[in-house]
Amino acid sequence: MYTREVRELAGRFSAEQLERCLTEELDTGGNLCDVNGPTGDVVNTLAEAEFVRDQVDRGVPLPDAIRELAGRMRSVQRHFCPEV
């Protein structure tokens, strides 16, 4: 996760705009949010930014939203890779 990029995207775009960019990336291989790279990396970054923005819109402070995202990611990693 590139925290700086996720933070910037969550600050610049609404959750709905990020979702549209994610859909565009999957459908066309490009997006209006101007996130570039391999499709898998772009999709991950946009999904992370969308999650963070949605949390902020619900009233969660930005640092707490990023910590929540990181905690969820670690939880998933532990589920699939118990040695982590």
Question: Does the structure show a pLDDT above 60 at 72?
Answer: yes
Please check whether residue 61 is in contact with residue 18, taking contact to mean a CB–CB distance below 8 angstroms.
no
54 confidence band (pLDDT: 50, 70, 90): very high
Q: Which of residues 71 and 82 earns the better pLDDT score?
A: 71
Q: How far apart are CA 83 and CA 27, in angstroms?
A: 35
Q: What is the average pLDDT across 18-34?
A: 95
Q: What is the average pLDDT across 45-69?
A: 96
Model confidence pTM above 0.85: yes
Q: What is the average pLDDT across 62-82?
A: 89
**Hey, where are the domains in the chain?**
3-80
